């Protein structure tokens, strides 16, 4: 793989990851006249839950559902420059033009005016866009295993880079797919967030992992993985280094966890063999997901990896893929119990989900 870094017209970084042997040198210049980014992100701590809440008012003007011929994630063409100056690409990563977090945000006061119990800080981090292919009409599930491997290498590269930035406490690669999820750009792409705090879900998972290790002397996800592989009831697909299964306490109508057989804290820690095996297995999982309702499944694919500075010895890297689609034409809405109390109520058992995916 060849890695080439450059700059866009407004100073944002762009990085090409090429696996095609005859890919041209990445020397195209961004000819657009763009204003300098001026993100105004901040975070405030909820005094009732202790959780940080990001606020990024400048994102109200971000691109929203453009037609295919105006897609900003396609390669540039004569007379139509886009976010990617080159006329073709394999995988490309660039700084988000409308970031939730950024390095250049201004410093702000330490508390909200008149509310000394509400801590306030600059939303200092970084947000990047990852384009999986230049083919606008494709999807992650239609990539070749070699191209998925390039994406994995890009995720690992950016995890290391973002984790080294000032203020970043956790790096989160993810993909949103489908309008039902809220996607506003249909080009196959994902994002990477460098959060200025450890997320609430990760904090909770680390606390549970610490308690389990203290009681049993073993990592909780290791025991879960071993039990799922032994039972087989909820296993969807297996490889030499990874297993995909529906968790026994699945919240979503479609939910799959893809877990490496070896405890590693994050994507950079994966071996070449583990990265290759994931590329094959994950494509098999995505094919099953799309076959479930005989339509492209809207989903969120979320990487759970160790924070930058805490809990690394407790973390076990894994990918969570879930969908809000509970039938071919019905959505799972997050209503009173889910949104108000964070208590999910599932309409189907994990065993039923797994059986349907195995048969898909």
* 74 annotated as ligand-binding: yes
* CA distance linking residue 12 with residue 97, whole number of Å: 8
Here the tokens at position 125 are: 């981090």
Here the tokens at position 221 are: 């996800």
* Sign of the dihedral defined by the CA atoms of residues 63, 191, 5, 19, in that order: negative
* 88 annotated as ligand-binding: no
Residues carrying an active site annotation: 189
The CA-CA-CA angle for residues 275, 232, 358, to 5°, reads 75
The 10 Å Cβ neighbour count of residue 211 is 11
Burial grade of 342 (CB within 10 A; 0-12, 13-18, 19 or more): exposed
DSSP string, 88-121: --SEEEEE-SS-SS-TTPPP--SEETTEEEEEEE
What distances in angstroms separate CA 207 from CA 49, 93, 220, 310, 312, one per listed residue? 16, 33, 11, 11, 12
3-state DSSP call for residue 279? helix
* 261 annotated as ligand-binding: no
* 3-state SS string for 36-93: CCCCCCEEEECCCCCCEEEECHHHHHCCCCCCHHHCCCCECECCECCCECCCCCCEEE
With a CB cutoff of 8 Å and minimum separation 6, the contacts of 251 are: 322, 344, 346
* Residue 187 φ then ψ, to 5°: -60, 140
* 136 annotated as ligand-binding: yes
Q: Residue 87 half-sphere exposure, CB side, CA atoms within 13 Å?
A: 6
Residues of the binding site for Zn(2+): 71, 74, 136, 187
């Amino acid at each position: 793989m060849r890695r080439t870094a450059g700059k866009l017209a407004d100073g944002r970084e762009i990085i090409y990851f090429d696996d095609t042997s005859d890919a041209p040198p990445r020397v195209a210049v961004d000819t657009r006249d763009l204003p300098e980014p001026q993100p105004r992100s901040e975070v405030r701590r909820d005094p009732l839950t202790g959780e940080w809440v990001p606020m990024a008012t400048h994102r109200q003007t971000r691109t929203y559902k453009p037609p295919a011929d105006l897609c900003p994630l396609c390669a540039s063409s004569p007379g139509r420059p886009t976010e990617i100056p080159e006329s073709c690409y394999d995988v490309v990563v660039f700084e988000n033009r409308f970031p939730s977090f950024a390095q250049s945000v201004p410093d702000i006061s330490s508390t909200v005016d008149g509310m000394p119990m509400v801590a306030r800080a600059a939303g200092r981090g970084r947000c990047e866009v990852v384009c999986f292919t230049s083919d606008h009409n494709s999807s992650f599930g239609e990539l070749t295993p070699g191209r998925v491997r390039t994406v994995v290498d890009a995720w690992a590269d950016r995890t290391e880079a973002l984790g080294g930035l000032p203020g970043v406490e956790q790096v989160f690669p993810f993909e949103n797919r489908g309008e039902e999820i809220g996607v506003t750009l249909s080009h196959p792409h994902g994002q990477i967030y460098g959060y200025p705090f450890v997320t609430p879900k990760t904090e909770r998972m680390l606390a549970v992992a610490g308690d389990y290790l203290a009681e049993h002397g073993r990592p909780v996800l290791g025991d879960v993985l071993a039990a799922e592989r032994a039972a087989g009831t909820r296993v969807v697909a297996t490889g030499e280094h990874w297993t995909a299964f529906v968790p026994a306490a699945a919240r979503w109508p479609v939910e799959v966890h893809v877990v490496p057989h070896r405890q590693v804290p994050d994507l950079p820690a994966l071996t070449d063999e583990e990265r290759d095996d994931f590329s094959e297995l994950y494509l098999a999982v995505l094919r099953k997901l799309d076959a479930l309702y005989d339509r492209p499944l809207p989903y969120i694919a979320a990487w759970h990896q160790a924070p930058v500075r805490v809990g690394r010895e407790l973390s076990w890297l894994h990918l969570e893929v879930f969908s809000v689609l509970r039938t071919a034409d019905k959505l799972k809405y997050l209503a009173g119990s889910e949104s108000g109390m964070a208590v999910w109520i599932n309409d189907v058992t994990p065993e039923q989900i797994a059986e349907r995916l195995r048969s898909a």
